[in-house]
Amino acid sequence: MGLRMSETEAINKYVEEIYCCTRCGTCKYIYQVYDPSCPAGVKFRFETFYPSGKIHIARGLIEGKIEWSERIRDIIFACPTCANCTIQCQSRHHAQIVEIIEALRADAVSKGFGPLPNQKAFADSVKKEHNPYKEKHSDRIKWAKNLAIPQKDKAEILYFVGCTSSYRQQSLAQKTVEILNKLGVDYIVSSDEWCCGSPLIRTGQLEQVSQLINHNLDLIKSLGVKTVITSCAGCYRTLKMDYPKYTDKLDGIEFLHITEFLQQFISKKKLKFKKGKEFKVTYHDPCHLGRHSNIYEEPRAVLNAIPGLKLIEMPRNRENAWCCGAGGGVKAGYKEWAVEIASDRIHEAEQINAEILTSACPFCKTNLQDAINETNSNIKFMDIVELLNEVII
Ligand code: SF4
Ligand code: SF4
């Protein structure tokens, strides 16, 4: 077999894994509930869109049997990087499937075929304003205008807000600091935080990533921070799992999702709750918190601590959860499809008669709320910090 190996191509790092895929199709279904697992395959109904097809595109490229084209770009970017395939696939390469897709994307960008047109704007905006939303960097902390944020130069705990909660889902940032204030946590928020890099890493636009990481780490160190907490699943995955691939300067810094941080208070019985009536809540596992980071029980521990809250599970939960559809650049690149994926999730939550659908990520909130509006659903969405802040004293 003649392989076209090039040092500069990201997929060449995964040649061994690519040849492990037998096209058995196990990655297409969650067999415990016999429901589909791959939003891309379900939508486009063609083998190439499933994980196996994307892996075979990689194989075709390294064997020189196919050439890069816009059609190939459109297929490899049609994936919210939900990682459901990494759970369902039983072959040796299963944990690397999303890495292979992200490597294909990095190669598409370096060869001038990617990313998708709407995703290109992320990089331009991050370069100019340090966020992907074309918002002014000077407005980054506007969400805190009427809130009591500790004014200090140093603290051991930093709340890393992230771009989506700073500019698009400000309620998550506001409720997080209200919770921290109620708990008497000694923390700091910085107006000079930059994008964590997630939208760029997920769409293969890697040029600025090292610069973002170095800036954020220098900032964290200059503030004397030992623990970084975040209420965004995307930031969490990036800080905790992507940063170590780029730098060895993370020694002594702990990254926690807000639900992990809050669970410590719950286990010490330090949260004081208002009296509440019974209500039924279901929890949507964000892909970047659940499958990517293995955080399933902490959010459930927070919810189960709330008096009157009855936690009911959707058939596809924890590692089998259906994606919200917003990740991996899909919300920007395939807007309507993103809401279709979320609409499936809303239907699943409705079928178990949940009154409130909750999650732990501003991206999930945006897309699930869009789907609620699109489908005229009566279900109410609240992020876990919004829900918790309402019931604690
Ligand atoms: S990715 Fe895994 S489960 Fe899917 S076809 Fe290949 S070997 Fe089978
Ligand atoms: S990450 Fe999700 S959408 Fe992408 S190929 Fe795997 S299962 Fe399909």
* Residue with CA nearest ligand 1 atom 7: 21
Residue 1 — pLDDT band, cuts 50, 70, 90? low
Residue 329 placed within a domain: yes
Residue 2 placed within a domain: no
| Paired tokens of 101 | 């897709």
40 Cα: distance to centroid of ligand 1 (angstroms): 15
What pLDDT was estimated at residue 277? 87
284 Cα: distance to centroid of ligand 1 (angstroms): 25
Whether 92 and 43 map to the same domain: the answer is yes
Q: pLDDT of 133-191, one tens digit each?
A: 999 999 999 999 999 999 899 999 999 999 999 999 999 999 999 999 999 999 999 99
> Is the pLDDT score of 5 beyond 70?
no
Whether 56 and 148 map to the same domain: the answer is no
Q: pLDDT of 289-298, one tens digit each?
A: 999 999 999 9
Q: Residue 41 sits in a domain of what CATH number?
A: 1.10.1060.10
> Is the pLDDT score of 7 beyond 60?
no
What pLDDT was estimated at residue 365? 98
What pLDDT was estimated at residue 6? 59
Whether 165 and 185 map to the same domain: the answer is yes
Q: pLDDT of 358-375, one tens digit each?
A: 999 999 999 999 999 999
Q: pLDDT of 67-116, one tens digit each?
A: 999 999 999 999 999 999 999 999 999 999 999 999 999 999 999 999 99
- Range 41-51 average pLDDT: 96
Q: pLDDT of 12-37, one tens digit each?
A: 999 999 999 999 999 999 988 889 99
Whether 337 and 198 map to the same domain: the answer is no
Residues facing residue 160 across a β-bridge: 230
Q: Out of 110, 127, 152, pick the residue that ends a domain.
A: 110
Whether 139 and 121 map to the same domain: the answer is yes
11-36: b (≥16 Cβ within 10 Å) or e: bbebeebbeebeeeebbbbbeeeeee
Of ligand 1's listed atoms, the one at least distance from the Cα of 50 is 4
Straight-line distance from the first to the last Cα atom of the chain, in angstroms, rounded to the nearest whole number: 67
Residue 4 placed within a domain: no
What pLDDT was estimated at residue 32? 86
Helix axes 258-267, 297-304, angle to 10 degrees: 50
Q: Which ligand is nearest to the CA of 341?
A: 2
The whole-angstrom separation of Cα 45 and Cα 57 is 16
Single-letter amino acid code for the residue at 299: P
**H or E stretch covering 330:** helix 330-333
Residue 1 placed within a domain: no
- Range 307-315 average pLDDT: 97
> Is the pLDDT score of 276 beyond 90?
no
- Range 281-290 average pLDDT: 98
The whole-angstrom separation of Cα 133 and Cα 11 is 29
Cβ–Cβ < 8 Å for 344, 82:
no
What pLDDT was estimated at residue 158? 98
Q: Out of 41, 76, 110, pick the residue that ends a domain.
A: 110
The whole-angstrom separation of Cα 328 and Cα 138 is 27
What pLDDT was estimated at residue 87? 97
Q: Residue 377 sits in a domain of what CATH number?
A: 3.40.50.1860
Residue 53 placed within a domain: yes
* Residue with CA nearest ligand 2 atom 4: 79
Residue 191 placed within a domain: yes
- The DSSP secondary structure of 176-214, one letter per residue, reads HHHHHHHHT--EE--TT----SHHHHHTT--TTHHHHHH
> Is the pLDDT score of 3 beyond 70?
no
Whether 247 and 291 map to the same domain: the answer is no
Of ligand 1's listed atoms, the one at least distance from the Cα of 23 is 5
Residue 8 — pLDDT band, cuts 50, 70, 90? low
Q: Output the pTM of the full model.
A: 0.96
Domain coverage including residue 203: 117-265
- Range 334-340 average pLDDT: 98
> Is the pLDDT score of 4 beyond 90?
no
Cβ–Cβ < 8 Å for 284, 358:
yes
Q: pLDDT of 162-178, one tens digit each?
A: 999 999 999 999 999 99
Whether 310 and 362 map to the same domain: the answer is yes
Residue 3 placed within a domain: no
Q: How many helices (H) and strands (E) does the chain have?
A: 19, 10
Based on the structure, what is the number of domains in the chain? 3
> Is the pLDDT score of 344 beyond 90?
yes
Whether 72 and 25 map to the same domain: the answer is yes
6 Cα: distance to centroid of ligand 1 (angstroms): 25
> Is the pLDDT score of 225 beyond 60?
yes
Q: Which ligand is nearest to the CA of 101?
A: 2
What pLDDT was estimated at residue 209? 97
Of ligand 1's listed atoms, the one at least distance from the Cα of 89 is 3
Residue 327 placed within a domain: yes
Q: What percent of the chain has pLDDT over 90?
A: 94
334 Cα: distance to centroid of ligand 2 (angstroms): 14
Whether 195 and 335 map to the same domain: the answer is no
Q: For all residues of the chain together, what is the average pLDDT?
A: 96
Q: Residue 204 sits in a domain of what CATH number?
A: 3.40.50
Whether 129 and 195 map to the same domain: the answer is yes
The whole-angstrom separation of Cα 272 and Cα 266 is 9
The whole-angstrom separation of Cα 65 and Cα 57 is 9
Q: Out of 234, 265, 296, pick the residue that ends a domain.
A: 265
Pocket of ligand 1 (CB under 6 A): 21-27, 51-52, 55, 85, 89, 91, 97
Of ligand 2's listed atoms, the one at least distance from the Cα of 80 is 3
Whether 244 and 121 map to the same domain: the answer is yes
Whether 125 and 96 map to the same domain: the answer is no
